[in-house]
Amino acid sequence: MRRRCGWLSSLFRPRRGGRALPQPDQPRPDSEPEVVDKRGASNEVVMENIVSNSDFSEGLHLWQPNSCHAFVAVEGSGYHYGVRPHSGSSYAVLTHRTQSWQGLEQDITENVTLGTEYFITAYVRVHGEVHEPVGVKATLKFEEESSSTNYVSIARISASQECWEKMEGSFNLTTIPRRLVFYLEGPPPGVDLLIDSVTISYKKTERSVSSTIGGTEGIISNYDFSKGLHPWNPICCHAYVASQWSGFLDGIRGNSGENYAVVSKRTEHWQGLEQDITNRVSTGTAYVVSAFVRVDGNVQGQVEVKGTLRLQNTDGSTHYNPVGSVLASKEKWNKLEGSFSLTNMPKHVVFYLEGPPAGVDLIIDSVNISCSGHKQSKEVKVKSGVETVIKNPHFEDGLKNWSGRGCNICRHEFTAYGNVRPLNGSYFTSATGRVHNWNGIQQEITGRVQRKVLYEINSSVRIFGSANDTEVRVTLWVQEYGRERYVGLAKNQASDKQWTHLKGRFLLHAPFTKAVIFIEGPPAGIDILVDGLVLSPARKLQATPCPKIENVLYGVNLLHNSAFTRGLAGWSPMGSCRLSIQTEAPHMLPSILKDRASQKHISGRYILATNRTEVWMGPSQVITDKLRLHVTYRVSAWVRAGSGGHGRHHVNVCLAVDNQWVNGGQVEADGDQWYEIKGAFKLEKQPSKVTAYVQGPPSGVDLRVMDLQIYPVDRKARFEYLKEKTDRVRKRDVVLKFQGSNAVNLLGSSVRIQQTENSFPFGSCIARHNIENEDFAEFFVKNFNWAVFENELKWYHTEAEQGRLNYKDSDELLEFCEKHKIQVRGHCLFWEVEDAVQPWVRSLQGHHLMTAVQNRLQSLLSRYKGRFRHHDVNNEMLHGSFYEDRLGRDIRAYMFREAHKLDPSAVLFVNDYNVEDGCDTKSTPEKFVEQVVDLQERGAPVGGIGVQGHISHPVGEIICDSLDKLAVLGLPIWITELDVTAENEHLRADDLEVFLREAFAHHAVGGIILWGFWEMFMFREHAHLVDADGTINEAGRRYLALKQEWLTSVNGNVNHQGEFNFRGYHGSYTMEVDTLSGKVVRSFVVDEHSPIQVITLNI
């Protein structure tokens, strides 16, 4: 700890060495009148700041905390207690202060000169237990050659918690100490000091010579060599600046100004003068280059001088791009001109001038690189991901910036580990001595990543110590306020034989105080080898255009000879099975196929596949040339098992698309009757071969297929029918009656009706971390009236370890929803799929497991009684049986019964996936109905049916058929987790519209919940409505357009009965009516209880 006594008195007595101390003074005006010299060039007075990183945009670079803790608060990681900067986007925070003198300092020794007056400004404020303004000071620390240290206060101000205060002061020096340090200090111990925009400036007069082209700002620093060669560098040769005062070369005067550079002792034509311009250029911008050049030496005539860019890439490669050239001579200055534009941002961008033969001097004057003015409509400058996020990404600087996460790390050059060679560059790193799967290599990236920015990760890894492939992961650990979180970024199976690539993307919503990225995964004892890790802001991909779909014959079957009128023509067996044509007995045909009035009437011929030795064997047909991209195809077939098996067997219409399996629909079938398969598919990328085939029964079981059809479906043709259906289901007739003092003489008065909100439940999945994103929260609150929590209410989240309950996240989410009047579904009390059950629960048996189930019900439902409108009691019971297998068949009904006792107000739901699209034999509508009936017979108060809706290529008729089958139960159906996926956002919008229109038009559907809407917060990729940067894409615009369509707007006049009649959607309205005394505005609500609603308004 340093001594502070006696520093005030030292202001007034001489110091050893005879140096007078700086005298505090009042700040002077920041500018003086411009002075014009006799030659017409202007001398401009500017203020030069000597403080490096004065706005903390580079974190704490060159700043040091004095015996306390410091960090930079930025928008990306969250501001300190919500305090926004005074200017810019960042400020420094000093915390854990135990002495008043503790603060933030910077060494300015090399930046000050004698006899110069310096002006200090800083914006400061405080935070903590303070009830009145406290003093904040700016101080200089002088460290002398004699080892003595003195302190001088140069500015002081009273600061508060309420606002930023501007501190001002000044000083000048008569001698320079061995070390001069500037720092800010002052508030009492325990009080945080906040600092923004620190400047120490002096007045500098510069000769103003234009460095712009077309009025744009120049890129080149010291373009006229008025500051010597700073920051220019000669390339393997000699360079100096010739000036009017030092003497021009052989009497050669400058083309403009008073200086030029001379590059001499050149032994190669590429030797010249260079400047690094990496941080001053960006992608997507056109730049123009100009320079005045000439040559000197043993040269006759003209020689070429070139401007060149040297681009050093992150993978170690270097490229040279010519940007301009000119023929130069000894006799006069010649203007070199050129241009360039960068499509990708390399690690380094260096501009240099080169070209004359060896031995010839190159003379350079007035070099300019400027923006041409022809920019993109929206320019976003993104620095190299290597420079801004991961430091030393390819281990070129050894292990600098890297550390082991609970293990040892080592860098290897060229070959190691039995001749393992680096994939890129010359080095790779190993993580050894690993005793846990989370051990690996790590780097802290706090301050270099921002929230609400999409990043992409790339790495190459392999393992050593195991012959078996094992998973390697890239993970981000984030410390948020009051919590910590692990975010999986990328994963892949790695081997000891070759390098494996890891690629991924991530987006952080919530403010955070610390972020560490690390590579982990393999079991203990296995080494992880890493050949680089690159993390960079993701490039914004250009929106894909809406595909043109023309001349499609909708409803026409693509399959040749589908009625088998020409025998087996067009058909071939998959594998070695045998095909033959048979005719079904009329009494065995489904009734719909025997009805000659039906469009589905067929002859009864079918194809029989026998001698099947593999599941995939069956009839097939190549349809490659008949398919069109971006078109939705419906699949329909009747199938029946043949001889050789008993019971029902899985039968599936498939498509082999370039050897990838595409599901066209499936069903369980036996030999007793015919079963209908319904499905759909769509191709977004051009395949080289597509084969349609039918497969499924075990080997040895014959397969019968009748009336197989694959045809394009015009889904929009159904929309008009759905609009009429929606009008019947979602609207009601309304009669407005008027009473009161203004209700007289209303006949013919103008009435304007505008619906403000549709009461139909439209909701979305949310999570604790993403409501911290203000843009996310705003979109959610504005466009949804229901919510469901992604994970925060699930048992594995609220009790990851037995007995340690965590309701913090669900509490805060619920409070957020209640604050904004958002209704909430509870998801979920239990999850029947074993993979979704936390390890400690999986380890329980018998009464121990039963006790845990009872505790879970009591804990959650008593805590939130009456606050959740719905509860999914036991999720996905059609796809799992964890609790039923261990606690008996009645456990499912028991969960419903107990949940109802603990919270009678909540509607209890079953909830499952793949119910609506015919693609999963485990979860057909018929099986869902059977499950609900069984639960009800066991006394379970099932109140609703949850159809998740994770669907691809939706077809309205298939969805409607499934909903009709579920509706026989008389229970409300909710779409609980809707998402549709398509890489092209226009196709995604079409799919979303198909499903939303179909569900909204169905009388049994009580609400629709999306399983997310923001990019990187989706269960499936390419399902988002809003891009990571907040841009609403076509799918989002379609959703908002439908929401707008489902609002009623009516204008008209009061009729002879003094009433106004209209038909409108259920929800909230405002009405304006013109009366004799003026316009009257009233609000009312249209409910859904009866066909006609009479509303009396007092006007």
The catalytic residues are 977
Of the candidates 474, 526, 536, 537, the one whose C-alpha atom is nearest the C-alpha of residue 500 is 474
Count of alpha carbons within 13 angstroms of residue 732, beta-carbon side = 17
Determine which helix (DSSP H) or strand (DSSP E) holds 652, and give its type and residue range: strand 649-657
Distance of alpha carbon 531 from its chain centroid, rounded?
26
User: Buried b / exposed e across 635-650, counting CB within 10 Å, b at 16+?
Assistant: bbbbbbbbebbeebbb
d(CA 484, CA 492) in angstroms, rounded, equals 24
Is 751 in contact with 1051 (CB distance < 8 Å)? yes
Pairwise CA distance, residues 551 & 91, whole Å: 61
DSSP state of 2: -
Tokens found for residue 221: 């620093």
Cα angle value 702/705/706 (rounded, 5°): 150
Q: Tokens 């680096």 correspond to what residue?
A: 422
Q: Are 443 and 402 in contact (CB under 8 A)?
A: yes
> CB under 8 Å to 782, separation ≥6 — which residues?
none
Question: CA–CA distance from 276 to each of 152, 309, 382, 659 (Å)?
Answer: 39, 10, 17, 50
Dihedrals φ, ψ of 578, to 5°? -110, 140
Dihedral sign for Cα 516, 522, 523, 524, please. Answer: negative
Where residue 701 falls (left for φ over 0; alpha for ψ -120 to 50; beta otherwise) is: beta
Tokens standing for residue 393:
């990404």
The C-alpha angle with vertex 222 and arms to 216 and 228, in degrees rounded to 5, equals: 165
Phi, psi for 608 (deg, rounded to 5): -115, 125
- CA distances from residue 999 to 975, 994, 1026 in whole angstroms, order as listed: 8, 9, 22
Whether the Cβ atoms of residue 678 and residue 665 lie closer than 8 Å to each other: yes
Q: Find, among 1026, 992, 1022, 1023, the residue nearest to 1008 by Cα.
A: 992
The token pair that represents 29 in the structure block: 């005006």
Secondary structure string (H, E, C) spanning 530-581: EEEEEEEECCCCCCCCCCCCCCCCCCCCCCCCCCCCCCCCCCEEECCCEEEE
Sheet strands side by side (includes 1092-1098): 1059-1065, 731-739, 1092-1098
Q: Which residues, other chains included, contact 716 with Cβ-Cβ below 8 Å and sequence gap of 6+?
A: 990
Q: Which two tokens mark 409?
A: 């790390």
| Tokens read off for 512 | 């955070």
Map tokens 């190669």 to a residue.
268
Return left, alpha or beta for 279; rule: phi > 0 is left, psi -120 to 50 is alpha, else beta: alpha
Q: DSSP characters for 919-988?
A: --GGG-HHHHHHHHHHHHHTT----EEEE--EESS--HHHHHHHHHHHHTT---EEEEEEEE--SSHHHH
Q: Does the CA dihedral 235-241-242-246 come out positive or negative?
A: negative
